[in-house]
A and B are shown apart, each in its own frame.
Chain A
Amino acid sequence: MEQLLNDFSPGLFVMQTLIMLVLIFIMAKYAWKPIMNSVEKREEGIKDALEAAEAAKKEMQNVTADSEKLLREAKVERDALLKEAREIKESIISEAKEQAQVEGDKMIKQAQATIESEKKAAVADIKAQVANLSVEIAEKVIKEELSDKGKQQKLVEDMLGDIKLN
C-alpha cells in the first residue's frame, strides 16, 4: 500500500485528467457524434429500405392476387358468354328448323291441295271430255242406229223395257 501510494503521482493524475477531459470533449464533438449520427442514419435507412421492400412485396402479392382474381373472373365471364352464345346458336338453329318444318309442311300441304285441285280439275276435264266423247259417240251411234227403222223400234222397246225394270 505504501508502495502504491508512493507510486501515485499527483502530477500525472492531473495531467491525465486534463488530457482525458480535452480528449473526451474533442472526440465527442469531432468523432463520436458524427459517427453515431451517420451510423444511426444508415441503420434507419436500412430499416426503412427493408420495410419498404416488405411493403412492396405485399403490394406485389396483392397485385398478383388481384390480377389472378381478374383473370378468373374474365374466364368465368368468357365461359358464360360462350355458353350463352352456344345456347343462342342452338335456339336459333332449332327455331329455324321448326320454322322450316312449319313452312315446309305448309308448302307441302299447299302443294298437295294444289295437286288435289289440279287432279280434280283434270279428272273433271277428263270426265267432261269422256262425256263429250261419249255423247259424240252416242250421237254417232244413235245416228247410225236411227238410220234404220227397225233398229229405232228396237231401241225404243229396249228403252221402254229398261224403264219398266226400273
Chain B
Amino acid sequence: MRVFKRSIDLAATLFILLFSIGVSANSSSDEKEEGPVNTQEEVEGYILHHIKDSHDFHLFSYTNSEGERKHVGFPLPVIVWSSEGLVSFMSSKFHHDDSGEHIVEAGGTRFVKLHSKIYELESGAEEISFDEEHHPVNAHKVLDFSITKSVFGMLLIGILMLLWFGGLARQYKSKQIPTGFGRILEPLVIYVRDEIAKPNIGHKYRQFTGYLLTVFFFIWILNLLGLTPFGFNVTGQIAVTAALAIFTLVIYTFKGNKDYWEHMLWMPGVPVLIRPVLAVIELAGAFLIKPFSLLVRLFANISAGHIVVMSLIAILITMKSELTVFGSGLLSFVLSLFITLIELLVAFLQAYIFTMLSALFIGMAVAEHDHGHDHEEDDAEGVRADFI
C-alpha cells in the first residue's frame, strides 16, 4: 500500500512539474495576433483542428490587457525521423504556429508544422510554398514519433491503469476482498471476464483476458478522458484505432486453429465450385472487413461525439445574434449537457463493443467445431455450460 501511495505521489509531482514548466515557458512567448474564435468558420476550423492530434498540450488562450494573445499549456517533445536521422526538439519551438510559417532548425535540417503535421523542408528551401490545392510543394512529411497529445494521453492512462489495477492486484496479497477504489475496479474486471471474454470465447478465454481487459479499460478510460475539458481525442485518432484493430487481427490470425483456417479457405459442406468464391469472401472478411469495422466504428463514434459536443457548445457563439447571449447560452448548455450524458454512455459502449467484437472474432477463430456430429449433444452441453 505504501509503495502504491508513493508512486501516486511521484506521478502527481511529475505531472505538476511538467505543467508548471510548460506554463512558464509559454507565458513568455510572443505570438502574433489571432484573437478569440468568433465566427462560424473559425468555430468549424477550431473543431476540425481539435479532433486532430496536436504537438503541444494546449489548455486555453486568452488576450491580456496589452492585447497580447497568451496560450496556457505546455509543450511536448517532438521526435521525428528526418533525412538526417532521428531529430528531437520541444514543440514550443514552433511557437503555436500551425500554418507552416515558422521554421524550426534542428538536427541539421528544417521543419515546419502545417495542420498538426510536421514537414521537413527540402534542402535549399527557405520557406514553404504551396500549390493551388494548398499542398506543400517543397516539403515532405516525416515519420513523426513525437510524444503528441495523444501519446501523452496514452502514457498517462497507461500509468493510471498500472497504478489502479496494480494496486488492486497488490491488495489481494493481504485480503480476500479489496477495499477502497479496488472495490469499484474489481466488479469491472469481473464484468469483462464474465460478460465479454467467457461468453464469446468459451473455456479458452483465460489466455485472452490480458488483451481484452487491457483494451477495454484503455479504450474506456481514454474515451472518458476525451470528455474532459483537457481536450484529448485519442480514441478518435484513426492511427490509434487502427493499431488496436490490428492487435485483434493479429491475435485471431495467429491463434486461429485448423478448423478456422479450413472454414476460411476450403469451406466444408458446400459444393466444391463455390469453395474458392467463399474463400475470397472469407479472407476479405477476416483481413479487411473485421478490422476495418472495428477501427472505423471506434474512430467515427468518438470523433463524431467530439464534433457534436463542440458544435453544441459553439451554439453559444454562433447563435448569439439570433437568441441573445442568455438564449443561446441556455440552449447550448441544455443540448451539450444532454449530449455529454449520451457521450458518457457511448464512451462505455464503444469500449464494450470493441472488446466484445474482438472477443467474438477470437472466439470464432479458436472455437472447436464438431464435424462428426456424434457428440452433438455433448458439444451443446459444453457450450451451454460455458455460457452459464
Q: Report A's interface with B, CB cutoff 8 A.
A: 4, 7-17, 19-20, 22-24, 26-28, 30-36, 38-39, 42, 45
Q: Count A-B contacts at CB 8 Å.
A: 124
Residues of A within 8 Å of B211, CB to CB, are 24, 28
Q: How many angstroms between the C-alpha atoms of A8 and B238 in the bound complex?
A: 6
Please list 14 pairs of residues, one from A and one from B, whose beta carbons are closer than 8 Å in the complex, sorted by A's number: A4-B238, A9-B237, A11-B80, A11-B81, A12-B53, A15-B145, A16-B240, A19-B151, A20-B214, A22-B158, A28-B210, A32-B169, A34-B169, A38-B176
Q: How many angstroms between the C-alpha atoms of A7 and B117 in the bound complex?
A: 9
Residues of chain B at interface, number, CB under 8 A: 47
Which residue in chain B gives the minimum CB-CB distance to A15?
Answer: B151
Within 8 A of A (CB), among B136-152: 143-148, 150-151
B244 interface neighbour in A10, A15, A20, A39, Cβ under 8 Å? A20
Q: Which of B36-44, B186-194, B277-285 contacts A (4 or more CB under 8 A)?
A: B186-194
B155 in contact (CB, < 8 A): yes
Residues of A within 8 Å of B239, CB to CB, are 8-13, 16
Interface SS of chain A: helix, strand, loop or mixed? helix
Which residue in chain B gives the minimum CB-CB distance to A4?
Answer: B238
Residues of A within 8 Å of B117, CB to CB, are 9
Q: Report B's interface with A, CB cutoff 8 A.
A: 52-53, 80-81, 117, 143-148, 150-151, 154-155, 158, 161-162, 165-166, 168-170, 172, 176-177, 186, 189-190, 193, 206, 209-211, 213-215, 218, 237-240, 242-244, 246-247
Which residue in chain B gives the minimum CB-CB distance to A12?
Answer: B239
Residues of B within 8 Å of A12, CB to CB, are 53, 144, 148, 150-151, 237, 239-240
Which residue in chain B gives the minimum CB-CB distance to A22?
Answer: B158
Residues of A within 8 Å of B147, CB to CB, are 15
Q: How far is the CB of B178 from chain A (nearest CB, A)?
A: 9
Contact A32–B151 (Cβ < 8 Å)? no
Residues of A within 8 Å of B177, CB to CB, are 42
Residues of A within 8 Å of B53, CB to CB, are 9, 12
A26 interface neighbour in B150, B154, B162, B246, Cβ under 8 Å? B162
Q: How many angstroms between the C-alpha atoms of A15 and B237 in the bound complex?
A: 12
Q: How far is the CB of B272 from chain A (nearest CB, A)?
A: 37
| For the complex of A and B, 10 pairs with smallest distance between CB atoms | A28-B210, A11-B144, A31-B165, A38-B172, A34-B169, A13-B239, A12-B239, A16-B243, A11-B145, A17-B243
